[in-house]
Amino acid sequence: MEEKVVTVVYPIIKNPTGNRRYAERILKGLNKAGFRHMEVGIRKIEISLRGNPFGGIISQYLGLKMKSLSLANSHSIRSLVPELTPKNGDIVTLHDILPFIQSAKFMTGSYDKKSYNLIYGNALNSRMLISSTKFGKEELMRELKIEEERIAVVYESIDHSKFYPTEIILIPMMERFILLLSETSTRERDLVYFSK
């Protein structure tokens, strides 16, 4: 029996974003496990207009179009980000559910709305969707009426070479502190704990 080959479509991003780190971890894990796959990288090119990123989705859309012939003859297609899901995509990871269920809030300008329709529609039409949380899966089912059997929950992995137990640091409770679990990007949702 012939071993199945998966084509993995991933973003090539200059800045150290969450999507870039996620793609690097997945590809590293596949290679380390010796899993047979083909890698198709799509470069994200953005410029800054008045301090806001612009053109990233368009550049990825065009990059995906340029690779469409090779992807058309691929085996199962696994997209590591929704923006890079071709029409014939099989599996896609939805890192952030909010733009899908609250698109009117996040896609305010005409560029955003066209980009959303252009790219994210393919992601939602994939055979399987991956959510990193059970809550995300429940939201997709409730808000977008996606069938439960089309959504898998796959929790984020931990790179034990970077994250490992060390000595416990006790913070005196008389001092005030802020615990921030997030990227520093202003568009990300933050979990913040304030001490009393």
Which tens digit of pLDDT belongs to each residue from 65-120? Answer: 888 766 766 678 889 988 888 887 899 998 877 777 777 776 777 766 777 776 67
Taking Cα atoms as reference points, which of 116, 123, 31 lies closest to residue 77? 123
Identify whether the C-beta of residue 175 lies closer than 8 Å to the C-beta of residue 157.
Answer: no
According to the model, what pLDDT value does residue 180 have? 62
Q: Extract the tokens encoding 45.
A: 């090119």
Domains recognised in the chain with CATH numbers: 6-153 (3.40.50.2000)
Q: Extract the tokens encoding 40.
A: 């198709």
Show Cβ contacts of residue 33 under 8 Å, excluding neighbours closer than 6 positions.
none
Residue with tokens 């899993």: 35
- Predicted confidence (pLDDT) per residue in 20-69, tens digit: 888 998 898 889 888 888 899 999 887 777 777 677 877 888 888 888 76
Number of Cβ within a 10 Å radius of residue 3: 6
Q: Extract the tokens encoding 94.
A: 């939805």
pLDDT at 3 over 90: no
DSSP string, the chain: -PPP-EEEEEEE-SS--HHHHHHHHHHHHHHHHT--EEEEEEE---EEETTEEESHHHHHHHHHHHTHHHHHT-SEEEESSGGG--TT--EEEES-SHHHHTHHHH--SHHHHHHIIIIIHHHHTSSEEEESSHHHHHHHHHHH---GGGEEE-PPP--TTTS---PPPPPPTTS--EEEES-S-TTS--EEEE--
- Predicted confidence (pLDDT) per residue in 187-196, tens digit: 544 444 444 5
Identify whether the C-beta of residue 11 lies closer than 8 Å to the C-beta of residue 59.
Answer: no
Residue with tokens 């793609």: 23
First-to-last C-alpha distance (Å) of the chain: 62
Pick from 8-12, 143-147, 156-160: least confident: 156-160
Q: How far apart are CA 104 and CA 149, in angstroms?
A: 27
